[in-house]
Amino acid sequence: MNKNRFAVSVAVAVGLILLVAAPGQATTQNAQSVAATAPAAALPGQAKVSATLEDDFAGLSYTDEQKASIERIHKDSATRKAVVAKDADLTPDQKDAMLIGYTRMEYGMMFKVLTPEQQRAVRKKMQTRRVAEQTARAQKPTQK
């Protein structure tokens, strides 16, 4: 049991490290926008994170090889998420955090499968979404 818990912790840590390292491959401007929005990335609930990431990948045309790779990534991620969902030792907050981490890892791996042109299109959608989110937050009246 302790080995499984340790393995899951290591997997989450590696995933978070990969998420932090991934912006280093992007342009400086994209890396700065990712760093500026890092606190907003820790949104509660997997559905919201998943929905926005799915929107960023929407509308792309995939090759058969890309489709096969993405399907394999989805299956692996679903297996990991099922293990976390069934783990009785984790609190709901821990489960949410791990599910969000696995979702981000999944989309990070999917991003690596894309061609450079597709990656640029996804980055553009992400940047547009982040700007819209920041604008919406700035327009909200502050509560006292």
How far apart CA 60 and CA 120 sit, in angstroms, is: 11
Q: Which residue has the higher pLDDT, 10 or 26?
A: 10
Which H or E run contains 104?
helix 92-113
Q: What is the pLDDT of residue 35?
A: 34
Rounded to whole angstroms, how far apart are CA atoms 91 and 81?
15
Q: Residue 59 contacts by C-beta under 8 Å, 6 or more apart in sequence?
A: none
Instruction: Measure the CA–CA gap between 126 and 124, rounded to whole angstroms.
Output: 5
pLDDT tens column, 38-65:
333 333 444 455 557 777 888 888 999 9
Of 53 and 6, the structure prediction assigns the larger pLDDT to 53
Residue pLDDT, tens place only, 74-133: 999 999 999 999 999 999 999 999 999 999 999 999 999 999 999 999 999 989 888 988
pLDDT value for 86: 92
Beta-carbon contacts of residue 123 (< 8 Å; ≥ 6 apart) = 26, 30
The more confident residue out of 11 and 25 is 11
Residue 23 pLDDT class (50, 70, 90 cuts)? very low
Copy the structure tokens of residue 39: 């606190």
- Determine contact, residues 104/15, Cβ cutoff 8 Å: yes
What residue ranges do the domains of the chain occupy?
43-144
Q: pTM for this structure?
A: 0.57
